[in-house]
Structure 1
Amino acid sequence: MTTIILRPLLENDWDSVSKIYAEGISTGLATFETEIPNWKQWDSKYINSCRIVATKRNKALGFAVLSQVSKREVYKGVAEVSVYVAKKFRGRNIGEALLKQLIKESEHNGFWTLQAGIFSKNLASINLHKKCGFRVVGIREKIGQLNGKWYDNHLLEKRNKNI
């Protein structure tokens, strides 16, 4: 039995990571994005620390990253969570392992609040976040449109109890 390895996500993972991201886009429940960015665009969107990829036999199974919620100094310790797992590997606790490691690394890097905006229909993701200590703080009604249809998002957060 080969162990799943969680390690830093690097530029040379982009080919595999972008395919996993494309699978997330195709669900219509993971993101309002409709196109895959190139590496440079993606790299500029996410915080350099706290980028994790789950691999097995050097194959990417999923990834987790953080993005800034604001450029204002007062919010420097607040980040938004993104977790994606390849379709073939969903339901195997990979998302949970990624999210728990992301939480640990975020706390080590001084983040005091993690938040997630999740499509209200994406119950699997909402439940994953709750399992990892996030709590629902609200529902943002008709927060955005995808393909001409309005969607609600559950807003969840997790506070670093060490701060």
Structure 2
Amino acid sequence: MLVVRTFNQQDYPDVKRIYQQGIDTGNATFQTVAKDWLEWDSSMLKCCRLVAVQDKLILGWAALSPISSRQVYSGVAEVSVYLAKSAQGKGIGHLLLSKLITDSESNHIWTLQAGIFPENEASIELHKKNGFRIIGVREKFGQMGPLWRDVVLMERRSKLIG
């Protein structure tokens, strides 16, 4: 049975492995190497960290990072959702993201945003199915090696908070 539960530090080796799988696709993040535990832990909110587990195997994770340290933006966070290669296309991303949305609202977060490479069509569709809308495209937002990459900016505003 698949369970989405709160992340704990002992999960990080599997989370890191899945994160690196996403990085290796070239379409998940500008990050080139998965962060170590301390860097990852300090970059994510302490609330709203989830893993999807089936038969003691972590198949995916989701977490939120602050978009700013300014108090006025305390209710705005950026979404990260990563799935193991073997878990893609099975609805696990939807379970993680929908639970992350619920948890974010319980923690007084009123806006979620995601920056997604346009080539990552599955992630864009996942976010749309969970109430995100495309705000725009940040053209040539960053470089990966010699290539400039666009980023689709998506946003979900809570109907319950704010």
Whether TM exceeds 0.5 here: the answer is yes
| Secondary structure in 2 matching 1:41 | helix
**Map of 1:41-120 to 2, 5 A cutoff?**
41-120=39-118
| Secondary structure in 1 matching 2:41 | helix
| Secondary structure in 2 matching 1:133 | coil
Displacement of 1:147: 1.8
Q: Distance in 2 between matches of 1:40 and 1:15?
A: 12
| Secondary structure in 2 matching 1:98 | helix
Q: C-alpha deviations, 1:25-47, integer Å up to 9, x for none?
A: 00000000001221111100000
Q: CA RMSD in A?
A: 0.6
Q: Distance in 2 between matches of 1:123 and 1:38?
A: 28
Q: C-alpha deviations, 1:131-160, integer Å up to 9, x for none?
A: 110000111000011122111011000011
Q: Which runs of 4+ in 1 moved over 4 A?
A: none
Q: Among 11, 19, 28, which residue is 1:30 paired with?
A: 28
- Report how many residues are paired: 161
Partner of 1:137: 135
Q: C-alpha deviations, 1:52-107, integer Å up to 9, x for none?
A: 00000111000000000000110000000000000011000000000000000000
Mind listing any 5+ residue stretches in structure 1 that lack a counterpart? none
Sequence identity, in percent? 51
Partner of 1:158: 156
Mind listing any 5+ residue stretches in structure 2 that lack a counterpart? none
Q: What's the TM-score, normalizing by structure 2?
A: 0.98
Q: Distance in 1 between matches of 2:23 and 2:34?
A: 8
